[in-house]
Structure 1
Amino acid sequence: MASSSLTPDLDQELDEESELREYRKAMSAIGRKFTPDPLTGEVEFTDIIRYIDTHVDDPDVQRFFSMSERRSERKKEVRIQALANFDINKLRVVPGTSWCISLEYAGLTTDERQDDKWDISKSKTKVKPEGEPQQQFQLFCYIREGPGTDAGDNSRHVDEFIGLPTSKQIEDFVKVSMASPVECYEPSIPSLLGFSHNLTQHEASLKPFLDSLPWNCRYIFEPTELKNRLSDKHYEMGKRGFRQYIEHATAIKDAGNAAYARNDPAEAITQYARAIEVLEKLLLKSISEEEERDRETRALVAVLWANSSAAKMLEAPGYETNLEDAKSHAENAITSDPGYAKGYIRLSHAHERLGNLSGAKDALVRGLRLKALENHFGLADHLIFLQTDKKGLPQSKDEFELWLKNVLLDDQESAERMRDLGGAWKTRCRIHGKTVGVDL
């Protein structure tokens, strides 16, 4: 009598193939929506990340997330098994191949540390209190030579760690890279296995495992001298690439400014959005990780959001202003660069146009309370403009004293807003006070 079911192994294999097909369909569906990199013309990893991050409500993205989660859980179990059953003798060395195990900083996170299930010994780094930002790192197994390098820098395996990984975790990462890489690669051992310079401290601990590899697999830790030379070269290459993106975004911004000047807010907003997209992708690239580059990029993003906010408020024939968007875009400008005064001015204008005079004043005081902006007379003058019902400071001694008393004492909302505010606002009032005979 014929069996009515397939063998468990065949069932699992068919399930995995079906799951992979569905995953690829989900990826293909959102892949058609990616915007290529403006300079290379290629869809890069940063393009994918930004699209997914900005389109979380897209049904195709949600489907992709669902499939990714299912695959991740299954792959995790597969890798746990591969690690538990790791046998170096069952893997072959592929001649002419080289991999690089690279440790890279991945920013700060407040996520709780997850148990590293690849680490059978459950070795963990120290966990910081919940909610406190912690450094996050990623390990990559890059393919430098051999199958998989046709399309650039591909990875056999990637893993994340809260805090620096331990030697045992690094060893397990290498084993998984060999025995259970991503689906498009076969289990194997490279003929050359390299480690980035920042992993040198683990060399002694990894040596027993590395020495157990077949004789035709060599390993090397990046020497300090080579690391320094490569870092200098990478810095200069990154500097040139970074400047190209900044110049490209600036040219788009200028096109937006030109549209704004000819009273075409819709076109201006479109151009500003294009430039913001270029720069937000740039922030995801390693060439913007240098502090001064990151700061320059975010400053330009702030300018673009502030300009977009102004365009949202521009009254033009055939265009309907969007004051809520104007307020939101001004907030984005402040988030990008808290020290950019125009962000607070745009936010104040948006509140004012919405009829929220209190919010308009609060926005300006919010900027003036920052150390970087406390002496910004543009913010102070605009605040005084609103506080005087757009009439300017009173020109008589009695009226000026009465106005000060109202702003600082009698009007409780205003008094709370102005509590201990000094800087440019106080200086402006002091200078004016001298002209009308009031000593502050």
Structure 2
Amino acid sequence: MSVIKCDQIYLDDKVVNGYITIDKGRIESITTKYEGDITFDYTGRRIIPGLIDTHNHGIMGYQMRTANNYEMDDEVSIQGYLKGLASFGVTGVFPTCSIDKIKSIAKQAQSNTIIGAKILGIHSEGPWLNRVGEKGIKKEFIEPTKEIAQQMVDDGAGYLKLVSVSPEIKGIEKITEVMKENDVTLAIAHTDFFYNDVINSIENKGFSVMTHLGNAMTGLHHRNVGAIGAGLLNENVYCEIICDFIHVCQEMVQVMLKVKNLNKVIMISDNSEYTAIPPHLYKGTDDKTTIEVGKDGSIHTETGKIQGSSIPMIYGIKNLVTKLNYDLSDVIKLSSKNACDVYCLKDRGVIKQGYYADFVVIDDNYQVEATYVEGIMVYDGNTKKEDLMNQDFLEKHRISDELNL
């Protein structure tokens, strides 16, 4: 048993000055008085629920996009990824991967070894995506078949929770039917559909999530509010939103949060292997493109196309609190509780008696000082971030020419 003391513990309905008692991975009690030995005293800090990132491709040089991680063993790659996530307060994750990596990720999840963030599910974004970027660039993809869909489900071994596809792709119902039969959530992603067709997909075709609302979809216009407007106005769909203010500008995030029921918003990162690595020029994952990681956290290809951001979710929380003036108690629902509601992740997402002891200790500048998963400290703020990075990735992909950033 361990006892954690803190004067700002963010519960589901209030903030308390007290003690969290942990036993066998769960919160045994939360009290305002305790007489006994204290395991850790975080007075002057804040304890918030662990962040749950259901759309995350990588971090610190580790990537989940393909089975081959730059000649690195999949198990080593996934474990490095989970440790890196924990250093930014992520306690639960849906690794967002290509279909050839589903089996390896499921194997790691089945091991139930707690070394960092816990794999709570698997997210396959594609490969059936019709549109890439705001210019609607088309992307090639394999023909959708029921056989491929069933193989994804089988490889996932119960962990495949979310599949994001473009609903307009010919034959996509071969994928969606199999997913619905196996209780896998369907998300609308990278779509050229406008308002009416998106609404039809939500109401009649089983889609219940909008993937990274605002990105790679038809936008708001005064004669047709597009896919974005459909996501904001429909009460039956959950909307992923990236709050780094790079994917979606600050003002648009402000509009989205004013219109959409906050209980239907899921904060995500959409981070990649370029997250949290030093600003510089790097080779792309295919060795054919050049990636620029900027000091502002932006990631672009040599063409200027946005390639994600290197800003983890904890800074999305900071943005909403410090720049949009939302109360932290409300924001942590977007980063933790709401994902548990939509994906039926039991006993997680809030700090509550009987729930898993998944929480994060942060300072006033939103720096992570400690991360706990099922009562185990999986990250200590004294650990140097560079020690968690995939040094092999940095050495092989960093371009020697200095970048004027």
More strand by share: 2
**TM-score, normalised with respect to structure 1:** 0.22
Scaled by the length of structure 2, the TM-score of the pair is: 0.24
